[in-house]
A = this chain, B = another copy of it.
Amino acid sequence: MVKKKDQTTEEKILAAAKKVFVENGLAGARMQDIADKAGINKALLHYYFRSKEKLFEVIFKEATSKLFPRVTAIFSSDIPLFDIIRQFTSEYVEIVLENPYLPLFVLNEINKQPHAFSQKLFGNNRPPVHKLAEKIEKEIKKGLIKPISPAHLIINMLSMCVFPFVGKPMIQLMMNIDELQFRNMMEQRKTLIADFIIASIKK
Protein backbone atom coordinates (compact mmCIF):
# COMPACT_ATOMS: atom_id res chain seq x y z
CA MET A 1 0.00 0.00 0.00
CA VAL A 2 1.97 2.91 1.38
CA LYS A 3 5.72 3.25 1.22
CA LYS A 4 7.18 3.88 4.64
CA LYS A 5 10.66 2.69 3.80
CA ASP A 6 13.00 5.65 3.51
CA GLN A 7 11.01 7.90 5.82
CA THR A 8 12.61 9.02 9.07
CA THR A 9 10.80 8.09 12.27
CA GLU A 10 9.66 11.66 12.72
CA GLU A 11 8.14 11.69 9.26
CA LYS A 12 6.40 8.41 9.89
CA ILE A 13 4.91 9.83 13.07
CA LEU A 14 3.76 13.03 11.40
CA ALA A 15 2.12 11.16 8.54
CA ALA A 16 0.32 8.81 10.92
CA ALA A 17 -0.66 11.61 13.28
CA LYS A 18 -2.10 13.72 10.51
CA LYS A 19 -4.32 10.89 9.41
CA VAL A 20 -5.51 10.07 12.91
CA PHE A 21 -6.06 13.65 14.00
CA VAL A 22 -7.90 14.68 10.86
CA GLU A 23 -10.07 11.59 11.05
CA ASN A 24 -10.92 11.80 14.75
CA GLY A 25 -10.21 15.32 15.93
CA LEU A 26 -8.01 16.24 18.85
CA ALA A 27 -10.17 14.61 21.51
CA GLY A 28 -10.99 11.52 19.49
CA ALA A 29 -7.46 10.71 18.37
CA ARG A 30 -5.59 7.97 20.26
CA MET A 31 -1.88 8.11 20.80
CA GLN A 32 -1.71 4.33 20.60
CA ASP A 33 -3.45 4.49 17.26
CA ILE A 34 -0.91 6.96 15.95
CA ALA A 35 1.94 4.81 17.23
CA ASP A 36 0.50 1.70 15.58
CA LYS A 37 -0.03 3.45 12.26
CA ALA A 38 3.54 4.75 12.41
CA GLY A 39 4.78 1.28 13.25
CA ILE A 40 6.49 2.34 16.45
CA ASN A 41 6.17 2.18 20.22
CA LYS A 42 3.87 4.62 21.97
CA ALA A 43 6.63 5.88 24.22
CA LEU A 44 8.53 6.97 21.15
CA LEU A 45 5.76 9.39 20.34
CA HIS A 46 6.42 11.16 23.59
CA TYR A 47 10.11 11.07 22.91
CA TYR A 48 9.68 12.99 19.66
CA PHE A 49 6.74 15.19 20.65
CA ARG A 50 6.35 15.70 24.35
CA SER A 51 2.58 15.47 24.55
CA LYS A 52 -0.55 14.95 22.51
CA GLU A 53 -1.17 18.69 22.51
CA LYS A 54 2.29 19.45 21.16
CA LEU A 55 1.96 16.86 18.43
CA PHE A 56 -1.44 18.19 17.54
CA GLU A 57 -0.18 21.72 17.25
CA VAL A 58 2.48 20.67 14.76
CA ILE A 59 -0.05 18.80 12.64
CA PHE A 60 -2.57 21.62 12.82
CA LYS A 61 -0.07 24.24 11.72
CA GLU A 62 1.28 22.08 8.94
CA ALA A 63 -2.19 21.23 7.66
CA THR A 64 -3.46 24.80 7.61
CA SER A 65 -0.30 26.60 6.59
CA LYS A 66 -0.92 25.83 2.93
CA LEU A 67 -4.34 27.36 2.78
CA PHE A 68 -4.68 30.49 4.83
CA PRO A 69 -1.72 32.46 3.57
CA ARG A 70 -3.10 32.02 0.06
CA VAL A 71 -6.52 33.23 1.18
CA THR A 72 -4.94 36.29 2.71
CA ALA A 73 -2.92 36.97 -0.43
CA ILE A 74 -5.90 36.70 -2.74
CA PHE A 75 -8.13 38.79 -0.50
CA SER A 76 -5.67 41.66 -0.52
CA SER A 77 -4.75 41.28 -4.18
CA ASP A 78 -5.18 44.31 -6.43
CA ILE A 79 -6.81 42.57 -9.38
CA PRO A 80 -10.46 43.21 -10.43
CA LEU A 81 -13.28 41.77 -8.30
CA PHE A 82 -14.36 39.12 -10.78
CA ASP A 83 -10.79 37.90 -11.02
CA ILE A 84 -10.55 37.68 -7.26
CA ILE A 85 -13.69 35.60 -7.19
CA ARG A 86 -12.40 33.32 -9.95
CA GLN A 87 -9.00 32.95 -8.42
CA PHE A 88 -10.20 32.39 -4.86
CA THR A 89 -12.77 29.76 -5.69
CA SER A 90 -10.56 27.79 -8.07
CA GLU A 91 -7.53 27.89 -5.81
CA TYR A 92 -9.47 27.06 -2.69
CA VAL A 93 -11.13 24.04 -4.23
CA GLU A 94 -7.88 22.90 -5.79
CA ILE A 95 -5.89 23.07 -2.56
CA VAL A 96 -8.56 21.42 -0.45
CA LEU A 97 -9.01 18.64 -3.01
CA GLU A 98 -5.64 17.38 -1.79
CA ASN A 99 -6.96 17.19 1.80
CA PRO A 100 -10.72 16.84 1.55
CA TYR A 101 -11.18 16.25 5.26
CA LEU A 102 -9.26 19.29 6.37
CA PRO A 103 -12.15 21.79 6.46
CA LEU A 104 -14.33 19.73 8.78
CA PHE A 105 -11.35 19.13 11.00
CA VAL A 106 -10.46 22.82 11.21
CA LEU A 107 -14.05 23.93 11.74
CA ASN A 108 -14.44 21.42 14.52
CA GLU A 109 -11.39 22.48 16.42
CA ILE A 110 -12.15 26.15 15.98
CA ASN A 111 -15.63 25.40 17.21
CA LYS A 112 -14.38 23.80 20.37
CA GLN A 113 -11.92 26.49 21.29
CA PRO A 114 -12.60 29.54 19.12
CA HIS A 115 -9.98 31.84 20.54
CA ALA A 116 -7.16 29.39 21.13
CA PHE A 117 -7.45 28.07 17.60
CA SER A 118 -7.93 31.38 15.88
CA GLN A 119 -4.63 32.27 17.46
CA LYS A 120 -2.99 29.10 16.17
CA LEU A 121 -4.64 29.51 12.81
CA PHE A 122 -4.21 33.17 12.02
CA GLY A 123 -1.58 34.33 14.47
CA ASN A 124 -2.22 38.03 14.64
CA ASN A 125 -3.15 38.66 11.05
CA ARG A 126 -6.59 37.40 10.16
CA PRO A 127 -7.58 37.21 6.47
CA PRO A 128 -8.38 40.78 5.40
CA VAL A 129 -12.04 40.33 4.62
CA HIS A 130 -12.54 44.04 4.98
CA LYS A 131 -10.35 44.69 1.95
CA LEU A 132 -12.49 42.45 -0.18
CA ALA A 133 -15.62 43.97 1.34
CA GLU A 134 -14.44 47.46 0.46
CA LYS A 135 -13.72 46.40 -3.08
CA ILE A 136 -17.24 45.04 -3.38
CA GLU A 137 -18.72 48.25 -1.98
CA LYS A 138 -16.80 50.26 -4.55
CA GLU A 139 -17.98 48.15 -7.47
CA ILE A 140 -21.54 48.58 -6.29
CA LYS A 141 -21.19 52.35 -5.98
CA LYS A 142 -19.64 52.51 -9.41
CA GLY A 143 -22.71 50.64 -10.62
CA LEU A 144 -20.67 47.75 -11.98
CA ILE A 145 -22.47 45.03 -10.04
CA LYS A 146 -25.88 44.72 -8.47
CA PRO A 147 -26.18 45.87 -4.87
CA ILE A 148 -25.54 43.15 -2.32
CA SER A 149 -24.23 43.10 1.21
CA PRO A 150 -20.48 42.41 0.91
CA ALA A 151 -20.55 40.20 3.99
CA HIS A 152 -23.25 38.00 2.48
CA LEU A 153 -21.48 37.81 -0.86
CA ILE A 154 -18.29 36.68 0.85
CA ILE A 155 -20.17 34.14 2.95
CA ASN A 156 -21.88 32.82 -0.17
CA MET A 157 -18.58 32.38 -1.91
CA LEU A 158 -17.00 30.72 1.08
CA SER A 159 -20.04 28.49 1.54
CA MET A 160 -19.99 27.09 -1.96
CA CYS A 161 -16.26 26.39 -1.71
CA VAL A 162 -16.11 24.90 1.74
CA PHE A 163 -19.41 23.16 2.30
CA PRO A 164 -19.10 20.43 -0.33
CA PHE A 165 -16.06 19.15 1.54
CA VAL A 166 -17.54 19.49 4.98
CA GLY A 167 -20.69 17.77 3.82
CA LYS A 168 -18.95 15.27 1.56
CA PRO A 169 -20.32 12.08 3.13
CA MET A 170 -23.81 13.51 3.32
CA ILE A 171 -23.69 14.66 -0.28
CA GLN A 172 -22.40 11.28 -1.36
CA LEU A 173 -25.25 9.63 0.48
CA MET A 174 -27.95 11.94 -0.80
CA MET A 175 -26.74 11.91 -4.39
CA ASN A 176 -25.53 8.33 -4.37
CA ILE A 177 -22.12 9.04 -5.86
CA ASP A 178 -18.73 7.40 -5.28
CA GLU A 179 -15.30 8.88 -4.61
CA LEU A 180 -14.43 9.41 -8.26
CA GLN A 181 -17.70 11.07 -9.11
CA PHE A 182 -17.32 13.34 -6.13
CA ARG A 183 -13.83 14.30 -7.20
CA ASN A 184 -14.98 15.03 -10.72
CA MET A 185 -17.75 17.19 -9.39
CA MET A 186 -15.31 19.21 -7.32
CA GLU A 187 -13.07 19.62 -10.34
CA GLN A 188 -16.02 21.15 -12.16
CA ARG A 189 -16.70 23.45 -9.24
CA LYS A 190 -13.31 25.09 -9.69
CA THR A 191 -14.85 27.21 -12.44
CA LEU A 192 -18.55 26.68 -11.81
CA ILE A 193 -18.72 28.51 -8.49
CA ALA A 194 -17.25 31.70 -9.88
CA ASP A 195 -19.56 31.56 -12.91
CA PHE A 196 -22.54 31.09 -10.62
CA ILE A 197 -21.61 34.04 -8.41
CA ILE A 198 -20.75 36.37 -11.24
CA ALA A 199 -23.98 35.53 -13.07
CA SER A 200 -25.82 36.55 -9.96
CA ILE A 201 -24.18 39.92 -9.33
CA LYS A 202 -23.28 41.03 -12.87
CA LYS A 203 -25.40 43.84 -14.25
Kindly state whether residue A54 has any CB partner on chain B within 8 Å. no
Judged by a CB distance under 8 angstroms, whether A143 is at the interface is no
Minimal Cβ-Cβ distance residue in B for A201: B199
Q: Is A151 an interface residue (CB 8 A)?
A: yes
> Which of chain B's residues have a CB closer than 8 A to the CB of A151?
175, 185
Q: Which residues of chain B are near A146, meaning CB under 8 Å?
A: 199
Question: In the complex, which residues of chain B have a beta carbon less than 8 angstroms from the beta carbon of A108?
Answer: 104, 108
Q: Give the interface centre of A27, A151, A167 by most chain B CB atoms within 10 Å.
A: A167
A155 to chain B, nearest CB (A): 6
Instruction: List A120-166 residues whose CB lies under 8 Å from chain B.
Output: 122, 126-127, 129, 146, 148-149, 151-152, 155-156, 158-160, 162-164, 166
Task: Say yes or no: is A28 at the interface (Cβ < 8 Å to chain B).
Answer: yes
Q: A160 touches which one: B148, B156, B169, B189 (CB < 8 A)?
A: B156
Alpha-carbon distance A156/B111, docked complex (angstroms) = 23
B163–A158 CB distance below 8 A = yes
Complex: chain B residue closest to A167, CB-CB? B107
**Copies per assembly:** 2
Contact A160 B160 (CB under 8 A): yes
Across the two chains, which residue of chain B brings its CB closest to A177?
B151
- Complex interface: chain B residues within 8 A of A101 (CB): 111
Task: Determine how close the nearest CB of chain B comes to the CB of A183; give it in whole angstroms.
Answer: 14
Q: What residues of B have a CB within 8 angstroms of the CB of A200 in the complex?
A: 196-197, 199-200
Q: Is A95 an interface residue when CB atoms closer than 8 A count as contact?
A: no
Say yes or no: A173 contacts B129, CB within 8 Å: no
Task: Find out whether the CB atom of B173 lies under 8 angstroms from the CB atom of A167.
Answer: no
A171 at the A/B interface (Cβ < 8 Å)? yes
A-B contact pairs, 16 of them (CB 8 A): A25-B28, A27-B27, A101-B111, A104-B107, A104-B111, A107-B167, A110-B173, A148-B196, A152-B185, A155-B160, A156-B193, A158-B167, A159-B163, A197-B200, A199-B200, A199-B201
